[in-house]
Structure 1
Amino acid sequence: MPSSEVFNQRDGAVHTDSQGHPVGKPYAAQRAGQNGPLLLQDFALIDALSHFNRERIPERVVHAKGGGAHGTFEVTDPLDDLTCAELLSKRGNKCSATVRFSTVGGESGSADTARDPRGFSVKLRTEQGIWDHVYNNTPVFFLRDPAKFPRFIHTQKRDPQTHLKDADHFWDYLSQEPESFHQVMILFGDRGVPNGYRFMHGYSGHTHKLVKKDGSFVYAQFHYVSKQGTKFFTQAEADKLAGENPDYANQDLFEAIERGEHPSWDFCVQTMTPEQAEKFRYNICDLTKIWPHDEFPLRKVGTLTLHENVKNYFAEIEQVAFAPSHLIPGIEPSADPVLQSRLFAYPDAHRYRLSVNYAQLPVNAPIHMPANFQRDGFMAFHNQGNRPNYQSTIQKLTYPEAPYDFSAHEQFVGSLITELSSVTELDFEQPRKLWEKVFDDGAKQRFVDNVAGHLGGAKSDEIKRRTVSIFYAIHPDIGNGLAQRLNLGKVEPFKPLPASEAIKFRANLANRS
């Protein structure tokens, strides 16, 4: 973040209006006579009132409530054997970072302790440009079809008539999308309400590519592993804090950094070769699935440390703009359709919310200011002087060659997208393992209590029964527990397509590619 010392001096700077004119009495106003009406010529007053009406910019549609800080990313274990990204090529390479954590569904004034995923976004300012990590604190998400995202978010917001949160809308949507229940299991389990931002992990969720100069690549999933460990709140603790201190997470992060307790995370990667991808049991473009760590172990790459609080929240957190399309050479997106949609949607949101020149704001600016043919528009203050805004022979730019070229097994990857439209038994294997292998008896009881408490707020028995039928498909114990708590009687389990259908389909694709 560029230095802003000039704005942080407490040395009696002269009070002025927006044009730098000295204003000796800030609460005074020009009048027609001693007690007459106000004068329109009083620029300082009109300027102050007009600016006040325009202090707010559009709120983020999702991830509106958040906080963050600045820090440093340092490479500890280079990845030069897998990627040509310069930042990751040498031990000790460093760059500055700005991080924003957030809830997802709530408005700007909502509670930090909502049962909700958390955004985990990191802006790295590298010599090759900005690299944004736009992640969550859960390794999976509710959907794998980008067309469903706006509709899904609408169900997490307010009812058009009552303007209240609505449990029927929440569960009506989810019970129509069985693939979402892996994320539901995590959200309503013990990990659903992190204790602030310092004690949680971050996950890319999406599959990316690490690419070398010769065009060869491996698939990759990125992880931020909290060096503070993880801590979570029970529902009762979260509800209590929501009333007593709805800004708990922001306060905890700020005060920890002020005390010198600088939180840090290990940045790690899982990798998979294209050949492994063709034999993998699950679809690598499926955002509702994880890569098992015993098959694809984590490899540490570097460490992120937050050591500097922001001086101005609006300038450095409200105006910070992350996008998964902000990548550096050597890091590429996969064909994951949700990731591909985010490559467009995020910069589009920033252009609306902050202006087309959002990248010129100090917190978003790269180390080396851009040299291109983009000019003008709202909030343009880096217009590149007298450089022509076309491909000129008078003042020439240098055009570097593409760092690599690749097209390996694209037939296989492209065809995978077709598979994502079907719900099969594969969609329930990982949630079932979560229930059987990760949740202990106490966690299982708390999970049933959490779901029953929220689902019980739905008025529609049809929605309740449809939801419980999907939980039955994950594990009978969950279905039975919820059916008893909600007095639903017998509920028929949801019946997905056999796993063999998806596995056979993918095997045929691999043979053809």
Structure 2
Amino acid sequence: MLTSKIYLLFCIITGAKIHVNDAKQMTGLFGNPIGHKTDLLTAGNHGPALLQDVQFQEEMAHFDRERIPERVVHAHGTGAFGVFRVTNTEITKYTKADLFNKPRKQTEVAVRFSTVSGEKGSADTSFGEPRGFAVKFYTEEGNWDLTGLSAPMFFIRDASQFPSLIHATKRNVTSGLPEPNYRFDFFSLRPETLNMQTYVYSDNGMPDGYRNMPGFGVHAFRLVNKQNKHVFAKFHWITKQGNKNLDRETTFKLAGSDPDYAQRDLYTAISNRQYPSWTLKIQVITDDMIKDFKFNPFDATKIWPIDKYPLIEVGVMTLNRIPRNFFAEVEQLAFCPSNLVPGIEPSPDLLLAGRLFSYKDTQRYRLGANNQLIPVNHPKNQINTLTDRDGFMRTDNNEADAVNYYPNSFSSVRDNPKKRDSNITLKADSNDEIVVFRFDDSDDHNYEQARDYYRSLADDWKTRLHQNLAFHMKTIRQFIIDRQLNQLRLVDPAFADGVKQELNNFRK
């Protein structure tokens, strides 16, 4: 007997009838069998309909809620899945990121291609804008999201301008119609957009599908190696299919005849086992090289000249699977530039700084506070959080028998000093050096003011203080009592002795 899925596909293709005995039992959302699907529950043949038709209520209520908010940018896109394979471990000189640490090492990836300003139903052949090229690496150390574009630069360099840029490329706020005045009004008032304008209004702004376009990480990132030495790098995806572009007239025709041209081209190729691939390369600069730049090297509106800072091959990405369910694996696929792994850190890019916050905040709005638990967003390694708990749609156990604060004495989950952020030294205008680091402030003059206050209390106040603390501590475990008394002793030995005496009194 054919399996149910194969049998169903056979019937759809051949037009054969599905035998009732071979069909799956239809159920509601909670598994209850449905005996008759196509009619309301009514009093009499012609109604009225009854409120007790919970079968209809369940379906309609779910239907009313089956759409989620559209992405503000990159709404029209598609996705595919595959693997990234390391071809050159030279990058390990620059970064300790585990996904690069062995020749031929493979990491699963999810990729989403998209237009930028168009709505979900717009044509994916629109011109005059870059395409999104976002890659999620499911590494052994968590997800790394390289969120990029088909262009090596961006329109703006400062995140404060991002909402205005996107609003200027959207529809007229009064009529709801496309509004070219907005776009070029903003462009003409912000000359930093000129580099990007020149690029995307050339042939490079009209890629022939997603397979034939390059990708760029746009931002510089800080790569840190095992010796805690750093460089800055930019990431490039070089299409192995070769760059191909469309002319403006063809994009207009395709927008009318096949508005999903780029998606169809990608899915057809993968379905025919013509798996598209891209070579990942990086450019690298050191701190000493920064002074050679005539512009800020962390300005996202600029590129690093390849003749001065040549490309270094890292690996090859191949896409070999289309989504099994578009909503589950593409609409809910969430990318965030702040998803980084040890060895890859942000640079001082002012546009990247805003994206580190904005993207995750967007996903919390679109998909919920626990969007990381959606299978397509879930890392391959285990999530061990303590303080990030509960909320809508929380489905994992998340150390359910543990505590939800840190530090603590009860959970085996601990931070790992070997995975700390690297320290960064900055120079202020005064030439003073400022170190950016996670400084441990747990032992910063903790006892002096408590000691002064304790010693200022009258004896009867001290007694009541001892009694109050002892009352609240009397039921806790002895090792915590001992640790707390040791802390009180550092304030004043009399403080610890007084509380200890009151604890003994309560136990009598």
- Fold shared, TM-score > 0.5 on shorter chain: yes
Counterpart pick for 1:365 among 373, 378, 382: 378
* 1:375 lines up with 2:386 in the alignment: no
Counterparts of 1:114 and 1:356, CA distance in 2: 33
Distance, in Å, in 1 between the alignment partners of 2:410 and 2:200 is 58
Query: Does 2:109 align with 1:93?
Result: no
Aligned residue number for residue 37 of structure 2: 26
Distance of 1:271 and 1:184 partners within structure 2: 26
Distance in 1, Cα, partners of 2:86 & 2:114: 26
Q: Give the 5 Å matches for 1:148-187.
A: 148-187=161-200
Identify unmatched segments of 5+ residues in structure 1.
416-513
* Higher relative contact order (Cα pairs below 8 Å, separated by 6+ residues): 1
Provide closer, same or farther for how the CA distance between residues 322 and 9 of structure 1 changes in structure 2, counting only shifts above 3 A. Answer: farther
Shift of 1:80: 1.4
Structure 1, 349-358 or 164-173: larger mean CA deviation:
164-173
> 1:362-384 CA distances to partner (integer Å, 9 max, x unpaired)?
00001123111211111211142
SS in 1 for 2:71: coil
> Aligned pair 1:393/2:405, yes or no?
no
**Counterparts of 1:267-346 in structure 2 under 5 Å?**
267-346=280-359
Q: Which residue of 2 aligns with 1:442?
A: none
Residue 245 of structure 1 aligns with which residue? Answer: 258
| TM-score normalised by the chain length of structure 2 | 0.78
TM-aligned CA distance change 1:383 to 1:200, over 3 Å: same
Percent identity for Structure 1 against Structure 2 = 42
Q: How does 1:79-478 map to 2 (within 5 A)?
A: 79-115=91-127, 116-373=129-386, 374-384=388-398, 385-391=400-406, 392-403=408-419, 406-407=422-423, 410-411=426-427
Mapped partners of 1:13, 1:281: distance in 2:
68
1:6–1:343 distance in 2 versus 1, CA, 3 Å:
farther
What is the correspondence of 1:37-48 to structure 2 with a 5 Å cutoff?
A: 37-48=48-59
- Do the aligned partners of 1:129 and 1:366 also contact (CA within 8 Å) in 2? yes
- State the alpha-carbon separation in 1 of the partners of residues 293 and 6 from structure 2: 54
Q: How big is each residue's C-alpha offset from its partner over 1:217-254, in whole Å with a ceiling of 9 and x where there is no partner?
A: 01100011100011111110000000001011111111
Task: Please say if residues 73 and 94 of structure 1, whose CA atoms lie closer than 8 Å, have aligned partners that are also in contact.
Answer: yes
Q: Is the 8 A contact 1:135 1:205 kept in 2?
A: yes
Hey, what's the Cα distance between the residues in 2 that align with 1:162 and 1:195?
A: 32
Check conservation: 1:214, 1:405, Cα contact below 8 A: no
RMSD across aligned positions (CA): 2.0
Question: For residue 458 of structure 2, what is the aligned residue in structure 1?
Answer: none
Give the AA of the match of 1:389: N
Normalised to the residue count of structure 1, the TM-score between the two structures is: 0.77
Rate the CA distance shift 1:161–1:6 in 2: closer, same or farther, 3 A: farther
Decide whether aligned partners of structure 1 residues 93 and 261 sit closer, same or farther in structure 2, where only a CA change above 3 A counts: same
> Residues 100-146 of structure 1: CA distance to partner in whole angstroms, max 9, x if unpaired?
00000000000011012100001110000000010000001110011
State the SS of the aligned residue for 2:121. coil
Most deviating of 82-91 and 380-389 = 380-389
Contact 2:241–2:276, Cα closer than 8 Å, also in 1:
yes
Give the whole-Å Cα distance in 2 for the aligned partners of 1:284 and 1:12: 62
The 8 Å contact of residues 208 and 219 in structure 1, kept in 2 or not, is answered as yes
Equivalents in 1 of 2:58, 2:214: separation in Å?
A: 45
Give CA-to-partner distance per residue, 1:42-65, whole Å, 9 cap, x none. 111111111111111000000000
Give the partner amino acid of 2:96: C
User: Structure 1 residue 412: deviation in Å?
Assistant: 7.5
Measure the CA separation in 2 of the matches of 1:322 and 1:226: 21
Runs of 5+ unmatched residues, structure 2: 9-21, 432-508
